[in-house]
Chains A and B, each alone.
Chain A
Amino acid sequence: MTPEVVITGRGVVAPAGEGADAFFDALTARHSGIADGVGACVEFDPERWMTPKEARRTDRYAQLAVGAAAQAAEEAGLPDGIEPERLGVVMGTGMGGLSTLERECRNWLEKGDRGVSPHTVPMMMPNAAAGLIAMRLDAHGPGFQIGSACATGAHAIGEAARMIQRGEADVVVAGGAEAPLTGLAIAAFRGMGALSKEGVSRPFDARRDGFVIGEGAGAVVLESADHARARGARVHGRVAGYGASNDAFHITQPDEDGRGAAQAMRDALADAGAAPADVGYLNAHGTSTPFNDRVETIAVHAVFDGAAPPVSSTKSAIGHLLGGAGAVEAVATLGALQHGVLPPTLNYEEPDPECDLDYVPDGPREAGGLELALSNSFGFGGQNACLALAAP
């Protein structure tokens, strides 16, 4: 029998708050972490999680990842009593150490080869966060990072759950992180027309004009239900199902009819052994781009066939955390299940005829008896992931 995968630790570093509970409280208080057109983690102090020397040698994306993973590990009581060889780390980033890359490019252009720091490679490599987290937790089980752009965090959690189901690890720390608030990255996303000119994240609203870029990280501790029970760990929820798909359509645009997104949702439901009617809430990818929100709505209709659950977008409050988004939003979805409360979609005022679902603009909304929720994440490259999360 396939082992049940439970969540025993949660960690968030997001523009709206640090810590899973504080973050969910901020969402339900309709607090926005977006200021001056970006979602920045202004209160994050890396030296809370690492020595000053480590912080200096670590790119911001990995600092954020370590912060979120350390919170999750602490809540789950890791690594005490865990066999090191059975403890894995699967993290992800869409972009890697961008601020390091940018700074060292400048150094190289200005000063030549000698100007490049010896710390450049370990700081910019996209697997640095998983390595640092493994060192911190003495995790000797499988470890790597996943890259699927804006779906990364969800893929990491889904693949980590599979790892436990296949018996390759008892416990896996999984999540995603991104620190893209650098001049180059912002110029690049702006240059392709992806960012909101207005600097407002208003998913599904008729006036939406692009996403608001943000930084942050999310992490969860996953383990088999038997393992959690045996060590008396508190269970916050379950990864009931996971679906992944490719649009195979365009390198940045979503498939017009939402085929890939719908497939990911259907596969997550099938994996959970659940029917569409069992789903009480859907945490949307909901980027606030004209394309995504229209196509995601089409895909939700295709899966739920006229009976879609309430849908809201966490990105309305924190912006788009790219590789961190899926993991942070999984923790938000878990919060909805734990509290029986649906977080709102902020800034939703003008309905778009092409986006005709219930986006919970009036939230937070009571949702007693909520048992199963989906969290969607769709990445550039056409890569989609959907997590089916369940109450404990």
Chain B
Amino acid sequence: MTPDQTGTAALTEDQVLQRIRATLAEQKVPGAETASAEATWSELDVDSLDLVELVKTLEDEFGVTIHDEELKPIASVGDAVTLVLRLDAERASA
């Protein structure tokens, strides 16, 4: 299913989680395919450069904009899912 970027249909948690896993897998992060929402960047050995790459993909894929200050507290896969869902919801209601 192609995510709807017009804001008419809200993203699901699973959609975002799957995309994060797939992107990290493209970045050859070990264990990316099965990473749980609880998995932290530190556990996955995801560094700041990996994160920049991930953020760009998520922005392009879901039509959201993630600012640096929003990224700071994001420490796990689940944090990133929640952030993308919140930004998507804000965009839809704007």
Residues on A facing B (Cβ under 8 Å) = 51-53, 55-57, 114, 117-119, 122
Indicate if the CB atoms of B53 and A51 lie closer than 8 Å. Answer: no
B15-68 residues with Cβ-Cβ distance < 8 A to A are 27-30, 45, 49, 52-53, 56
Query: In the complex, given contacts A53-B27, A57-B49, A119-B53, what are 17 additional A-B residue pairs having Cβ atoms less than 8 angstroms apart?
Result: A51-B28, A51-B30, A52-B28, A53-B28, A53-B29, A53-B45, A55-B28, A56-B27, A56-B28, A114-B56, A117-B53, A118-B49, A118-B52, A118-B53, A118-B56, A119-B49, A122-B49
**When A and B form their complex, which 6 residue pairs have the shortest distance between CB atoms, in order from nearest?**
A118-B52, A53-B28, A52-B28, A118-B49, A56-B28, A118-B53
Question: A residues within 8 A CB of B29?
Answer: 53
CB distance from A153 to the nearest CB of B (A): 29
Question: A residues within 8 A CB of B53?
Answer: 117-119
- Classify the secondary structure of A's interface with B: helix
CB distance from A326 to the nearest CB of B (A): 32
Can you list 13 A-B contacts (CB < 8 A)? Answer: A51-B28, A52-B28, A53-B29, A53-B30, A53-B45, A55-B28, A57-B49, A114-B56, A118-B52, A118-B53, A118-B56, A119-B49, A122-B49
CB distance from A118 to the nearest CB of B (A): 4
CB distance from B58 to the nearest CB of A (A): 13
Q: Which residue of B lies closest to A116 (CB)?
A: B56
Q: Which residue of A lies closest to B48 (CB)?
A: A118
CB distance from A114 to the nearest CB of B (A): 7
CB distance from B14 to the nearest CB of A (A): 25
A122 CA to B49 CA in the complex, in Å? 10
A219 CA to B30 CA in the complex, in Å? 30
A119 CA to B27 CA in the complex, in Å? 11
Question: B residues within 8 A CB of A52?
Answer: 28
A57 CA to B29 CA in the complex, in Å? 11
A52 CA to B27 CA in the complex, in Å? 9
Question: A residues within 8 A CB of B52?
Answer: 118
Q: Which of A55, A57, A122 has the most CB of B within 10 A?
A: A57
A55 CA to B45 CA in the complex, in Å? 15
Q: Which residue of A lies closest to B32 (CB)?
A: A53
CB distance from A276 to the nearest CB of B (A): 52
Question: B residues within 8 A CB of A122?
Answer: 49
Question: B residues within 8 A CB of A55?
Answer: 28
Q: Which of B28, B29, B30, B53 has the most CB of A within 10 A?
A: B28
Q: Which residue of A lies closest to B24 (CB)?
A: A53
Q: Which residue of A lies closest to B54 (CB)?
A: A118
Q: Which of A52, A53, A57, A119 has the most CB of B within 10 A?
A: A53
Q: Which residue of A lies closest to B53 (CB)?
A: A118
Question: A residues within 8 A CB of B49?
Answer: 57, 118-119, 122
Question: A residues within 8 A CB of B56?
Answer: 114, 118
A29 CA to B30 CA in the complex, in Å? 42
A119 CA to B47 CA in the complex, in Å? 11
A57 CA to B48 CA in the complex, in Å? 13
A379 CA to B30 CA in the complex, in Å? 42
Question: B residues within 8 A CB of A57?
Answer: 49
Q: Which residue of B lies closest to A57 (CB)?
A: B49
Question: B residues within 8 A CB of A56?
Answer: 27-28
Question: B residues within 8 A CB of A117?
Answer: 53
Q: Which residue of A lies closest to B29 (CB)?
A: A53
A329 CA to B3 CA in the complex, in Å? 56
Q: Which of A56, A117, A118, A119 has the most CB of B within 10 A?
A: A118
A254 CA to B45 CA in the complex, in Å? 49
A57 CA to B27 CA in the complex, in Å? 9
